[in-house]
Amino acid sequence: MDNLTHSLVGAVMGQAGLKRKTGLAMPALIIGANLPDVDAACFFWLEGTEHLGFRRGITHGPPALVILPLILAGLLWGFDRWQAKRGMRPEKRVTVHFGWLYALSFLGALSHPLLDWMNVYGVRFWEPFAPTWAYGDTLFIVDVWLWALLIVSVWWGYAKEKSGGNQRPIARGAIAIMLGYIALNWTITWMAYQNKGVTAEPYPEQFIASPQPVLSLGRERIARLYDGRWVSSTWEGEDAGYGYRHSAETQCLLPDLSEQSRDNSQLDAFLFWSRAPFGTRAKDGSLVLHDARFYDPRARERFSLALPDVKCEPLPHSSS
């Protein structure tokens, strides 16, 4: 999920009562909820599609979820001591307990991969032990309704506390609504997978129910047909049956690219990351790789990789 959602989840957990456990509890929860995204620094040394195969991996796995919160807790504890030595420590701050700082940092960090799992991009929970992607297909990566719920609850709770009231029921109610909203969306996705997006045969060979932005209870139905074509319920192009649409671009037969990927780090990363790879024909007749989850015929450069040395071969039974 986006970092605003992660931060708001950390904040609402604090307002639900956890911030009373120790001084600097809110920074531990909010920063902790964003800790796994330190892997974004990979943009400084990785190029092109290489970051796709690196993100949501090593910093989202068990060792990182133990070590990163420990570092954060140590920094917060040291900051509190540094302020105290210089007479700058706020008088209203309660005693800082390192054990609680670590526990809250860990809880915040743990919420991060759980939320990341809920969209179609996926997460690798068991890195570095197993490089296996897991997908929840439950929420869009930016869910405006979660934003609205969490922003209102955090602001309302803050205002309630400032006026001398109890903010905990507000935060706990928001958490309950959030969990119910997630459960509802998970159920919608589960139901979509029961019939693979269609009501009669032939069923697609592979099917993905992708949550949509704003209309969060809807699902984009993405499918791989028996002839190798990838189709979607939202793409522009010719009708492929059962409400699916075929891309207006020519799709290519996807060859075995394992040999080329050994010498091409961009290709290796793309294939490792891609859940629904398919190819289209470039103007020069070569192959361009895409992923059906993030394909938009109007923005073909997005999440794509050109392979100028690989010829686009037509799919069998393709009308193109």
Give per-residue pLDDT as tens, 64-113: 999 999 999 999 999 999 999 999 999 889 999 999 999 999 999 999 99
pLDDT for residue 290 is more than 90: yes
pLDDT for residue 320 is more than 60: no
- pTM of the full predicted structure? 0.92
pLDDT for residue 26 is more than 90: yes
Q: Token pair of 178, please?
A: 């959030």
210 confidence band (pLDDT: 50, 70, 90): very high
248 confidence band (pLDDT: 50, 70, 90): confident
Average predicted confidence (pLDDT) for the chain = 92
Domain map (residue ranges) of the chain: 3-186, 206-314
| Residue 71 confidence (pLDDT) | 98
CA 174 to chain centre: 21
pLDDT for residue 199 is more than 80: no
pLDDT for residue 127 is more than 50: yes
- 190-210 burial, b if ≥16 CB within 10 A, otherwise e? eebeeebbbeeeeebeebbbb
pLDDT for residue 319 is more than 70: no
Ordered alpha helix ranges (H), 124-262: 144-162, 168-194, 258-261
Quick one: which of 111, 38, 100, 24 has its CA closest to 68? 38
The half-sphere exposure of 210 on its side-chain side, counting CA atoms within 13 A, is: 26
247: left (phi over 0), alpha (psi -120 to 50) or beta: beta
pLDDT for residue 249 is more than 80: no
Across 11-21, average pLDDT: 96
Element (H, E) at 10: helix 3-15
